[in-house]
Structure 1
């Protein structure tokens, strides 16, 4: 995608032309189990496409940056698929809602909750061991989306807890094989197919060290300030752009990659806002942590937190005009997805579809919309750094 894209006065995330080859109706009207399974397939296929594109690359830095993005896509596909199995067996909407609220994002607990619907053989126990190993690291589905979590200590002060404290050299070939096997096992539960002949008794650790230089990701070797945040931002942005380019080159792929692409871009913007707030704004450390905790995934709250500093560093009227444009972008993004769930799940927590009526969008327009905001945020980071260098 073009790095020269910049916020426009009249940009609309909802703009579409029904005659455009990028136009699609994202209305969801199938049974809920089938829709969850379709979402799972989309996220899984996106993960596969991204990892296959970078394995063996000469640009080994991408292996480190992009790891979090495709690891999340794989992980999320398992969650969606497990929930598809559950909803194939639980048809009552009230019970489905209870299932969602009881299990949340913890893959190990979700598997335990559907164990009554599957055969408990050696394949099941391998999958259970695999998801149990993932659970302590990622029971809330945030370890591959954010560089750290913010917690309050016993004295009432905020502290940072990194998800990866030590350097790990992750063998990507092995990681991919395990994720593919886990996905296929759960798919066999959904379809009622025996997986015995295809099963391989891999080590059940989710992250296994090893691999040749261009087939491994090195993570956890940078601190949680500039380098670590920036690495994750770069990975999510690159992977979002990659899926967008696939759709732009071949519009028929929009049905597969649209939702994963949008989520990758959406998380990029959230990370960029948090990066500006955490690394560049003038608040104290405690106030930065408080604002991030209170904002959670809200574009509007994060934007309001960084807005004063961005205005302060604006050099001229043209800069301030652009900030006003971005105000409108943020309002639109917040109106489309205020809680970071619209592009990840087909339903909300009450099991109501996000798009239950006809909803036409233009996949290319939305990709451009995201990219324009991201370019602005990256420009803000550069402008603040330049200002600070000149002030020394």
Structure 2
């Protein structure tokens, strides 16, 4: 379902956490207004209109506003400021926005559009931000290679995690709510590693080597003036839900590989790739070889998200595809297409069966460089059954 097209690339998108996850299937979508304006788009659940998602759009002065619309979109013209937003589940009236331009993090009270706090301290752009699950701290990951823990009330930095003393590789992404106590946070890096830290203990507990650093060095600009993306870069990370396994986490890289890790041993336990044939030996190959083995340019991973109760992971890619993997055997279960350019962000709302049995349905919303937002409906049980028959 193509919901809307816009003038600018869409870089962030998120479901409203206040929505009832047990809502029925989407049966109607309707819109009003012109493209790239404050058009009201609603998803209709069982013929009852609901403020399913929140909408945010960048203004010319780098500000943005929220309205009671369909999607939490984050639109920005090229070279403008915010790259990451976080709208927490338990504290719905507060939003974090991280600046890629000046390394600041802004905390907003959404009902009043008032800025409550600005966190200052990063020496480079902020690529990811989040609240801890208990809401006591704000977290931000930066291109300066640090993860900072902030006190929301005072705006002061409570701790700084420096994961690599010899080379401050840029952090690209972040996942929270890991471990039994929910205090683990994981950050992906351009150097091919993912770092796991315990916020409460202020300790780095694991370094997971997803890929070896690209031999050509770090990033920069190509001959056309475009920013280069390292094939070794880890662009997506997430902890497995407690219903799956509290000791598991996942990393996705621009090498096209999805890797599942056991935090009790810090070892990779499974590798998923679009071609089904990646082995553990392939996982240790240089980044350039991985790029060739796994389908070439465009099959990297930009976002990943676990199913809440099953060992399944959805991924989005630069080639515009969404893929569903079974992490038990590494097999590609299902793939979705529709975008014609890189998917920058993805969020999923799972509609679980009332009896709690089965995978339910997944409402997948994606934001892309093709300037479109799309919604996909996936019947998880059906695609699993079809995959088993093949």
- Normalising to structure 2: TM-score of the pair? 0.31
Structure with more contact order per residue of length (Cα contacts < 8 Å, sep ≥ 6):
1
Question: Which structure features the higher share of strand residues?
Answer: 2
When Rg is computed on C-alpha atoms for both structures, the one with the higher figure is 1
Quick check: which one's helix share is greater? 1
